[in-house]
Structure 1
Amino acid sequence: MFFESFLLNLFILLVLIFALIFDYVTKFFSYWYIRHVPYKMSLPFFGSDYHRVLGLRSTTDEVNHLYSLYPKDKFVGCIKSRIPDLIVKDPDAVRKILSTDFSNFHCRGLGLDKSRDVCLRNNLFYAEGEKWTLLRSRLESVLNKSVDIQDGLHDCLSGINGDTNVQQLLSELLDIVFKDLLIGNNVEGSIITCLRKEFEQRTLQDKLKSYLKDIFPSVYVLFNLSTPFSKLYNKYRNVIKDTKLYNDVKKAEMISPYEVKNSKTKLNKDSAEDEAFSILSLFISEGYAPCLKVLTSLLYELAKHPQIQEKARRNNSALNSAIKETVRLHPPYSIINRKCMKMYTFTKNDFLVDKGLTISVPIEAIHKDENNFKDGLSFKPERFENIGESSSFLPFGLGPRKCIGEELAMDIIQKVANIILKNFNIEPCEATPEKLHVVDYNFARVIDNVVWLRLKPIL
């Protein structure tokens, strides 16, 4: 039905369009209300995610805020733009999502494996389905390594006496470790240093792209945005052929050609150089960076707790407990995301979630919850000496998608920390920060302030 007035028709059309758009963006706003799950109120076009979208809170800060807002509830609901997101606080439900009922939640739902950036499309962290299975199988053979402490590490430590920039020192040590692990002696090791510095640089443009990748991954893929590593790809593409990593990739191709050939997923669309470089970038962003954060946090805590430091220096078991307590208090990743792949019912809590719902597992908040760890904000390694690992201890995740590099990372952290403790007493100094300023970056957590500590040689 039309009216004679053009302006009236236009007005009615605009009202109808607005009503349809409003209905679309607010369709799930009552999702958690009808399921009797506590939730944060939503706004059109933002959902309940407006603090995060506007940059007023980081992803971790927003999830931790909602976690603490409802201390007695096991689940908290929110709306990301227009899609319901469930924050799971109950450790038993977390175990079901990540392990027992993994088939229902095997996908992260980010879609970043569709990116044209070689560093993303072959990244195990973002891969889904059969591609994830093949990449993980391929990467397991590459990760089957042990770490040897070289004389180069002792050379880096020689001459140190006094106030020291901890991140700078640890970066020099880890450069050597990762060069030996991935590059070998036949290739100049600056490729590791260059990639590491590119990751650490975090320019405003990089931060904006990281923000988009976290908040709107589909937009990131649509506009063909790339990681900081991608601009170094052409520079090192030929160099990569002479590395240990490239040889490991080629061996892995020979070991499992039948598996790849008969797969519906074309994993070999990229060349071995492409795959080797993408794995190298994965080692830096998901291996090197977390190791650097954990080691920095560990030395910082040991400096503040001299009795624990002395115990860790004399006893490897005590050092391992201190490392576990560090990754509890300062986990490399604060949140694990999953997507519900089919309708699922939490039987114990008697409520149903629909296919397509996103799940957030708040690792950092669970680790610091007094209900899971007594005096959870304090550094107390003895908790792991007495009770072992708790079901609420999830620094590397859980289940089939648990971090594939956990053993290697813990080995690196233990050996690097051990060599520092054997050579130095670690103390706070005037420039030591009161606390570690940690920020979100590329789905991980990084220390954003410079940490200075006083290292005194043990004679």
Structure 2
Amino acid sequence: MFFESFWLNCTVAIGLIAALTFDYVTKFFSYWYVRHVPYKISVPFYGGDYHRILGLRSNTQEINALYKSYKEDFVGSVKSRIPDLTVKSPDIVKEVLSTNFKNFKSRGLDLDKSRDVCLRNNLFYAEGEKWTLLRHGLVSILEDFKISEDDSLECLSGTNGDVNVQELLAQVLDIVFKNLLLKDVDENIITDLRKSVQERTLRDRFKSYLKSIFPSVYTLFGLSTLIGQPTNKIRKTLQNAQLSKKLSLVFKLDEKENIKKLKTQPDDLSFGVLSSFITEGYIPILNVLTALFYELAKNPEAQKRARISSEHLDAAIKETLRLHPPYSVITRKCVKTYKFLDSKMLIDKGVTVNVPIEALHRDNIYFKEAGDFKPERFLDSSVHGYTFLPFGAGPRKCIGEELSLQIIRTVASSLLKKFDVYIAMGKTPSQLALVDYNFTRVIDDDVWLRFKPIEC
């Protein structure tokens, strides 16, 4: 229907466009209301995600706030316009991660189509058949990795006094990971890749933020926040490395059908797998070890026990993982309409489910005096499995758990035998500053501690 007045037609058209736009962006705003689930109030174009989109809160802070604000087992929100659910009960967490994994097998990050070869070939971001192939292949490769106390600590000779813990530990881990992955290569590729990930320039921080908030936009523009494309030098080096040969053998890359299934080329796969060992292995391990020595420096008695007892060292490592988990939130996307067990709650395909790892770890209901560093709590095996999830759980549980713990245990034990660790007066922070970066939690500031050699 048209009117004789041009301006009246324009007014009506603008009104219709505005109404349709408003209807589109607010379509799911009543999603949780009709399901009788407590939820965060939404606003047009932002949903309930305005704190995160505007940078007022990180994803961890937002999920933790939702966890603490409601007593119910389910807490709803809307990310932009899509329903988002945070689950609080350990039994429901088990249901999502393990019991009914087939209904929540996707991470919901939608970054598996990224042009960045590191993301496309990273198990953390993979989906569907590629995830299955990558997981089986990488599990078999990890089984061959062995960690032993060697000469990796020789680089620390002369260490005495106040040191930057991250820099000190990086010297050791550079050697550990080179021996694991590229022992037959002369170039310092591990060190170079680690430094490029750690730089975290303002530009990289913004792209990481965009990837977390608007992953589809990140993918659309072909952005890269990790290590990017491998240089010609790295490609040539990797072609002759034992790691590439092992990958080629495990994934049968001499067969075109397997390359088609993996949706990648052999060189890209080698570089992607190598970079994933840095981003999903090296960096989280570095942060956990930094947090471990920070906590042990603040708790001399716990340090003394960890030095003389492997059981107490393991307990200290677990307590560090509880207080400072590498991943504070695990996400899963519902792949089809699902009704939660023992509940009338029904959610639709496409709804993202958040498992609040850090919030569970710091809940006084499950851990007495949850804010305190008390390793002895892990000497008791009665801790609920689905309230302690530093490596996740279920079929998508981190495949590097055993190797990571072995590296952390070996490095920590070796250093504790050689050094007493103390607070560096005026330099050690009163608390660790952790921030979200590329879906992980990293220590944002330098941590200084005093390392004093133990007299033999």
Class of the TM-score when normalised by the shorter of the 2 chains: over 0.9
Show CA shifts across 1:335-376 (max 9, x none). Answer: 001000111111323211111101111100010011111111
> What is aligned with 2:243?
245
> What is aligned with 1:50?
50
Q: Is the 8 A contact 2:133 2:262 kept in 1?
A: no
Q: Is the 8 A contact 1:183 1:243 kept in 2?
A: yes
Q: Is the 8 A contact 1:122 1:278 kept in 2?
A: yes
Give 1:119's aligned amino acid.
Answer: C
> What is aligned with 1:168?
167
1:177 Cα offset (Å): 0.3
TM-score of the pair, normalised by structure 2: 0.96
Distance 1:240 1:34 in 2: 55
Give 2:176's aligned amino acid.
Answer: V
> What is aligned with 1:449?
445
Show CA shifts across 1:120-146 (max 9, x none). Answer: 111110111111001111111221211
Alignment partner of 2:435 out of 435, 439, 454:
439
1:378 and 2:372 are equivalent in the alignment: yes
Q: Aligned with 2:135: secondary structure?
A: helix
Distance 1:228 1:95 in 2: 31
1:388 Cα offset (Å): 4.7
> What is aligned with 2:176?
177
> What is aligned with 2:334?
340
Distance 2:377 2:162 in 1: 31
1:228 Cα offset (Å): 3.4
1:324 and 2:322 are equivalent in the alignment: no
Q: Is the 8 A contact 1:233 1:277 kept in 2?
A: no
Change (3 A) 1:228 1:126: closer
Is 316-325 or 268-277 further displaced after alignment? 268-277
Distance 1:182 1:117 in 2: 21
1:416 and 2:434 are equivalent in the alignment: no
Distance 2:27 2:233 in 1: 48
Alignment partner of 2:207 out of 203, 206, 209:
209
Q: Is the 8 A contact 1:427 1:455 kept in 2?
A: yes
1:248 Cα offset (Å): 1.6
1:266 Cα offset (Å): 2.2
TM-score of the pair, normalised by structure 1: 0.96
Distance 1:87 1:244 in 2: 43
Alignment partner of 1:284 out of 258, 278, 282:
278
Q: Aligned with 2:380: secondary structure?
A: helix
Q: Is the 8 A contact 2:334 2:348 kept in 1?
A: yes
1:403 and 2:398 are equivalent in the alignment: yes
Q: Is the 8 A contact 1:142 1:245 kept in 2?
A: no
Q: Is the 8 A contact 2:314 2:409 kept in 1?
A: yes
Q: Aligned with 1:76: secondary structure?
A: strand
1:269 Cα offset (Å): 4.1
1:272 Cα offset (Å): 2.0
1:416 Cα offset (Å): 0.3
Gaps (5+ residues) in structure 1? none
Distance 2:349 2:251 in 1: 36
1:253 Cα offset (Å): 2.7
Give 1:17's aligned amino acid.
Answer: I
State the 4+ residue runs in structure 1 displaced beyond 6 angstroms.
none
Q: Is the 8 A contact 2:47 2:80 kept in 1?
A: yes
> What is aligned with 2:362?
368
Gaps (5+ residues) in structure 2? none
Q: Is the 8 A contact 2:118 2:226 kept in 1?
A: no
> What is aligned with 1:228?
226
Q: Aligned with 2:78: secondary structure?
A: strand
1:268 Cα offset (Å): 4.6
Equivalent residue pairs, number: 452
Q: Aligned with 1:421: secondary structure?
A: helix
Q: Is the 8 A contact 1:149 1:177 kept in 2?
A: no
Give 2:63's aligned amino acid.
Answer: V
Distance 1:62 1:438 in 2: 14
Distance 1:347 1:228 in 2: 39
Q: Is the 8 A contact 1:332 1:446 kept in 2?
A: yes
Q: Is the 8 A contact 2:292 2:320 kept in 1?
A: yes
Q: Is the 8 A contact 1:117 1:224 kept in 2?
A: yes
Q: Is the 8 A contact 1:141 1:248 kept in 2?
A: no
Distance 2:225 2:233 in 1: 15
Q: Is the 8 A contact 1:119 1:227 kept in 2?
A: no
Distance 1:16 1:40 in 2: 29
Give 1:375's aligned amino acid.
Answer: E
> What is aligned with 1:63?
63
> What is aligned with 2:33?
33
> What is aligned with 2:353?
359
Give 1:93's aligned amino acid.
Answer: I
1:34 Cα offset (Å): 1.1
Give 1:315's aligned amino acid.
Answer: S
Distance 1:21 1:324 in 2: 49
1:47 Cα offset (Å): 0.3
Give 2:40's aligned amino acid.
Answer: K
Is 244-253 or 282-291 further displaced after alignment? 244-253
Q: Is the 8 A contact 2:118 2:276 kept in 1?
A: yes
1:232 Cα offset (Å): 4.0
Show CA shifts across 1:210-259 (max 9, x none). Answer: 011111110011001113311444341111123232122022134x989x
Q: Aligned with 2:10: secondary structure?
A: helix
1:402 Cα offset (Å): 0.1
Distance 1:371 1:109 in 2: 29
Q: Aligned with 2:112: secondary structure?
A: helix
Q: Aligned with 1:298: secondary structure?
A: helix
